Amino acid sequence: MAHKKSLLPLGHEPPRDTREQISGLPPEPTILNADELLSGNNEVLIQHGNDFYRLKLTRQNRLLLTK
């Protein structure tokens, strides 16, 4: 996907709501690094409201998210 030239200083991006207002595009999702998220573990629990989800790194080096 091609990026439009930004008028902002290098390394500065507009706030997500501003990007949406200016371009009409939805905000870009936040990128999380799986290694940092797992913190050296093979699995972590993620709480969403009252529910818990398990994010597990499999032996095939894939991520599995289960409720």
Report pLDDT for 49.
Answer: 95
- Separation of first and last alpha carbons in the chain: 33
pLDDT above 80 (res 50): yes
- Residue 51: C-alpha distances to residues 28, 29, 54, 67 (Å): 25, 22, 10, 8
Average pLDDT of the chain, as a whole number: 81
Decide if 47 is inside a domain: yes
Which CATH number fits the domain that encloses residue 50?
Answer: 2.10.70.10
Nearest Cα residue to 55 out of 28, 37, 31, 40: 37
Tell me the residue range of the domain where 42 lies.
Answer: 30-66
Decide if 52 is inside a domain: yes
Decide if 45 is inside a domain: yes
Report pLDDT for 53.
Answer: 97
List, for residues 12-39, the tens digit of each pLDDT value: 666 666 666 667 777 788 899 999 999 9
